[in-house]
Structure 1
Amino acid sequence: MNAVGHPTVIGTNRPLEEIRIDVAGPAALTGPALAHLRALGATAPEPPDTRTGPARFTATGPGAGRVTAHTAWADVLPDVDAADEATVQATTGMMHVHGRREGAPRGLAVDYAATCASVLTVQGLLAGLLGRARGGGTATHLATGADRAALLTLSQYLAAANAPEAEAVPPAPGGPPFTAACGTRFELEALEPAPWARFWRALGAAEAAIRAGWPAFQFRYATACAPLPEELHRTAHAASWARVREAAAASGAEVCALRPLAERAAEPRSAAPWTLTPHARSRPRGTSGPVAAGALPLSGLTVLEAGRRIQAPLAAHLLGLLGADVVRIEPPGGDPLRGMPPCASGISARWLALNRGKRAVEIDIKSPAGQAELRELAAGADVFLHNWAPGKAEHFQLGADRLAAVHPGLVYAYTSGWAGRLPDAPMGTDFMVQARTGVGEAARPADEPPAPSLMTLIDVLGGLVGAEAVLAGLLLRERTGRGVRVESSLLGAAETLTAPALHRAATGQDPRRPAGFRRPLPTADGWVAPADAPARPAPAGSARLRELTTQQAVAALRQQGRSATAVTTDLTALPEDPRLRGACSRDAHGSLVVPSPWRFA
């Protein structure tokens, strides 16, 4: 066994101890990765900020050899169309999806594509080191890009837009948050129609508006907008915040006031977005087997996934892209989201974006027989991954301790909402986490009212962080000879995304980006997005650009020394966009497939 570092580092819970990682490149592409690598135990000297160009990572250490990563703004797109965060968001359609609530493209004021690319870089480095630790001849160089990361985060929206069927609820402007009479802006969460209806009835809303609003509200996770009846917003605005909370408590719905970044900065935060805890019992070393020459680093490993919605399914999807055999545990009758419109060949295009290539086993975990069946499967697996509600696994005798008893070498991974770190936390869903952690403020510039993005920022980033944690757990298992309990969370994902804004708030700076930040400019036939840091101001103002076509506006800005690109506003046209150079493909069902987030060599 060619293990990384000392073969019996039993006391460690950090898999990158004794590993040195040298980094160079722009802070936006290196910062989140550096924080995670250091939290995993790596020695990573502070790099110079080159401001431009790609980021480069080189990992070396006892038994590790040399594993390298190259992270660029553009790896699929032309450099001129993906020069920084703003242009990546514009070209990939991220500005369009985030802007659906407003009815026009808007840039995210957080560095979302770069943050996701950083997490994918850490995943690739961990996977490469794991392949070496397993004694295989796997690739030791990987490349990724902020453009690849952005396309991955948008994969569900792209698949749905390019499916042969229409959305169940046509996208249109509108959506939460709501505003109470005192001005408190708040998010509402109801996973079923009954709590939704009871909440609005308690506030006195009209029945027609309650019925009409539910489908748009329910599908907001899928469409990134929620064209609710204006009656519901008026009803909320007529109620005091105290009455809103009373209505939520009585109905079974939940509400959360949007918290400012300054308040969040004053609260305790974790240094890492996950925890890794080796089991007390050991396993025989080397049972995962070596990796064949040329194989992906997780080849030969089995992942059991019992996930719902986005977070855990996406984490397992990424592990599958790295070579693992993913077995999806579904309830009797199969996952109901398989039929969520729009469909391709009878299967939800969104579901395929997260679950294609997985094997499925139907198990009733509520029955003793089903629980025994799942424990039997876990006995032969390497990873068990789930995102059930808190306490559900333990209730069904499927918690970490119970499964460790049948398989001491198991990596037990729980992708949670809050990781038990905020005792007053609301329901652990994407938009509630955004509201509670200040993402609603960080994601928008200072001249826009705080509002969580209706693009599922935290569910997706939570899935990426979850896969990162599993890879760290697998590498730690190779080093310690023990199975590992892993927990990641949506809270950890939110902290990763908002770290720069929280640092600004904690040091007395304005945590929000200035007015108009990353707001694309209208042209005669579309929109153009300048880069965040132009070489010098262009003399042509926005009024002049309105008279030009988008192509002419891009050319004019570039002639004046500004990086700029056209904003994608039609997701159905994106796969054929010459800037993507045919990077997207179709699966056996005819559903759109975005490119893998990594290239290995």
Structure 2
Amino acid sequence: MDVTAGSWVAAESVGARAIVDRPLAGVVVRTRGGSLALRVAVERLRALGCEVGADGTPPPAGAPAGWLGVVAAPFGGPGEALPECGISWSGPVGLPMANERDVQAACGIAHVHGRASGGPRALRLDYASVCAGVLTAQALTAALLALLRGGTALAVRTSVAQAALLALTQYLAVATGERSDPPFPRAAREGHGRPPFRSADGVWFEVETFEAERWLRFWAVLGAGPRAVAVGWPAFQQRFATATCVLPSELVDVAAAVRFPDVVAAGAECGVSVLPVRAADAPLVPAPASPWRLRGLSGVAGPALPPLARDVRRPLAGLLVVESTNRVQGPLAGHVLGLLGADVVRLEPPGGDPLRGVPPMAGPTSARFLALNRGKRALEADLKSGAGRRAALRLVADAHVFLHNWPPGRAGAYGLDHDDLAPVRPSLVYAQAGGWAEALPPPQPMGTDYLVQAYSGVAALLAGPGEVAAPSLMTLTDVLGALISAEAVVAALVARARTGTGVRAETALIDAARLLRATAAPAATGPLNAVTVTDLAVMAHDPAFADVLDHTPHAVYSRAPWTFAPAAHPEEAP
């Protein structure tokens, strides 16, 4: 059955290009409530083409943080139920929560963010609410995709607490994995410090490299002794996993004796990225017209997306996603697509992704790796070789989505750019999860979380009065960037279903930073909720979290942040 045949007519009348730019054109949504999570969802749905308005009534009792209901769509049968979504604060978590600070305290965000400073500390951003808003828009868009594929109308339930737990899933896995070493690095005997560093001329800055040799050369050029450099490397390398970074004070002192232009020059010489920590209102390149940079790839219509059976509840079931990703942003984006029902296959280098072996372990595989990649299949292929590229092309020929987070230029070097894949799969959704997009000119610095926080002004938003602006060592833009990337894929799939043609979606960590800046508001102060997590391993075994966490024999992970069930008919809707 060609489930997109009817919607193809609608796409022709509006124009395929317009549908790609605004995949939800013609959809009308009504809302109830006023939380930040709801407001974020509304703005994202509007950017996708929805007409959204408030109906002026309070949200239903089960959705105190907001409710959205589709009241009209240019697809689906007449008189049928339409998708809706309710947002709560606690969701299935058995603890009372009524605001962002409650969620940050009770679900571990304050604990992870506060590790670097010695105790639980709330983020001065409503981070969990922003994540929940993106997940809400994403889920409602996925429910509309289910309608396009002939499935039943779905009712979505999500919560700010579930968004927070998804954001922490890698830290939760690390805290509950099989451990032989202390969970966090100890301070060096001769004193300690942490990034960012302050130069001799008063510039605070962040550095980034994934290679020990470059780290060694960089600090040697600045004048640091080899012992301090060697002691500092493990803590610096592991900060993405531990949310701490205890460095020898010698490195801080060495940086303080060098002018910032000379630090930048040393970075350029050694292949280490160096960026200043900028103010919260630092100018950024104007945002693109679409947060997802959607554009059509070809005018050739491919086969319809496979139909979705009426009894299937996961909107992306039956769709194949091929990903070639590493670290956090890309793998988590693929993981979210898998939670929505997609079959996800990873392309990994010969011998497998090196992160599979990074402790703590969960059986034979890294707990942190599994937090981002559970349920995915894997195919090993050397993409630098002709044989590996051919293996990738064979896999993509049957795929609906190809997702990567390679640095600029690598897709072309592999012969796997969108133009290379279009002849193989004209109707492919080609998704790139990058770092900087158009925000910085080439050659760009490494597109990683802490550099993006520093340069974008997010680090400054986190600082309290009189405090030095410093990025949170919790991976804020990596996680939110992953959610935005998955959101882009779902939106592109809707455009592909309505037009029949391939779509490119490009997102970046800087998009997450822009969203955090746009939603920043004066932070609440005062003590945290009395229910404040101080140990993720203890939280993992708290019965209050039993319905939102997956307990395996080796580690604990967060579950999907939403549930899907058949939607009520209009006369039965809340």
Residue among 245, 249, 262 paired with 2:264: 245
Q: Which residue of 1 aligns with 2:179?
A: 165
Q: Which residue of 1 aligns with 2:146?
A: 131
- Structure 2 CA distance, aligned partners of 1:378 and 1:22? 38
Gaps of 5+ in 2: 188-192, 566-574
Q: Which residue of 1 aligns with 2:65?
A: 54
Q: Which residue of 1 aligns with 2:30?
A: 22
- Structure 2 CA distance, aligned partners of 1:47 and 1:423? 44
- After superposing on structure 2, the runs of 4+ consecutive aligned residues of structure 1 that deviate more than 3 Å are 2-5, 46-52, 166-169, 171-174, 289-292
Q: Tell whether 2:129 aligns with 1:114.
A: yes
- Structure 2 CA distance, aligned partners of 1:49 and 1:446? 39
Q: Which residue identity lines up with residue 77 of structure 1 in the other structure?
A: V
- Structure 1 CA distance, aligned partners of 2:265 and 2:57? 50
Residues 439-448 or 103-112, more deviating:
439-448
Q: TM-score, normalised by structure 2?
A: 0.90
- Structure 2 CA distance, aligned partners of 1:308 and 1:339? 13
Q: Which residue of 1 aligns with 2:572?
A: none
- Structure 2 CA distance, aligned partners of 1:166 and 1:24? 50
Deviation at 1:264, TM superposition (A): 2.6
Q: Which residue of 2 aligns with 1:598?
A: 562
Would you say the 8 A contact 1:291–1:299 is kept in 2?
no
Q: Which residue of 1 aligns with 2:104?
A: 89
RMSD: 2.1
Residues 202 and 410 of structure 1: CA distance in aligned 2, closer, same or farther (over 3 Å): same
Q: Tell whether 2:52 aligns with 1:41.
A: no
- Structure 1 CA distance, aligned partners of 2:302 and 2:66? 38
Pairwise mapping of residues 23-422 of structure 1 onto structure 2 (< 5 A)? 23-45=31-53, 53-59=64-70, 60-64=72-76, 66-78=82-94, 80=96, 82-137=97-152, 139-167=153-181, 170-171=184-185, 175-264=194-283, 267-422=285-440
Q: Which residue of 2 aligns with 1:534?
A: none
Deviation at 1:273, TM superposition (A): 2.4
- Structure 1 CA distance, aligned partners of 2:214 and 2:240? 18
Residues 577 and 586 of structure 1: CA distance in aligned 2, closer, same or farther (over 3 Å): closer
- Structure 2 CA distance, aligned partners of 1:255 and 1:472? 35
Q: Tell whether 2:475 aligns with 1:461.
A: no
SS at match of 1:183: coil
Gaps of 5+ in 1: 502-510, 522-528, 530-563
- Structure 2 CA distance, aligned partners of 1:168 and 1:420? 41
Q: TM-score, normalised by structure 1?
A: 0.86
- Structure 1 CA distance, aligned partners of 2:210 and 2:56? 47
- Structure 2 CA distance, aligned partners of 1:475 and 1:573? 41
Q: Tell whether 2:11 aligns with 1:11.
A: no
SS at match of 1:572: helix
Considering Cα pairs closer than 8 Å and 6+ residues apart, tell me whether 1 or 2 has the greater RCO. Answer: 2
Deviation at 1:170, TM superposition (A): 2.4
Would you say the 8 A contact 1:172–1:225 is kept in 2?
no
Residues 582 and 470 of structure 1: CA distance in aligned 2, closer, same or farther (over 3 Å): closer
Residues 271 and 45 of structure 1: CA distance in aligned 2, closer, same or farther (over 3 Å): farther
- Structure 1 CA distance, aligned partners of 2:75 and 2:265? 59
Deviations 1:43-78 (A, max 9, x none): 113676979922101123122451100111110224
Residues 48 and 241 of structure 1: CA distance in aligned 2, closer, same or farther (over 3 Å): farther
Deviations 1:563-594 (A, max 9, x none): x432100111002224324532223x522121
Deviation at 1:79, TM superposition (A): 5.8
Q: Which residue of 2 aligns with 1:536?
A: none
Q: Which residue of 1 aligns with 2:190?
A: none
Q: Which residue identity lines up with residue 70 of structure 1 in the other structure?
A: G
Deviations 1:86-133 (A, max 9, x none): 010001111010011101111101111001001110111111000110
Would you say the 8 A contact 2:222–2:258 is kept in 1?
yes
- Structure 2 CA distance, aligned partners of 1:192 and 1:237? 23
Q: Which residue identity lines up with residue 380 of structure 1 in the other structure?
A: D
Residues 580 and 447 of structure 1: CA distance in aligned 2, closer, same or farther (over 3 Å): farther
Residues 166 and 46 of structure 1: CA distance in aligned 2, closer, same or farther (over 3 Å): farther
Deviation at 1:38, TM superposition (A): 1.1
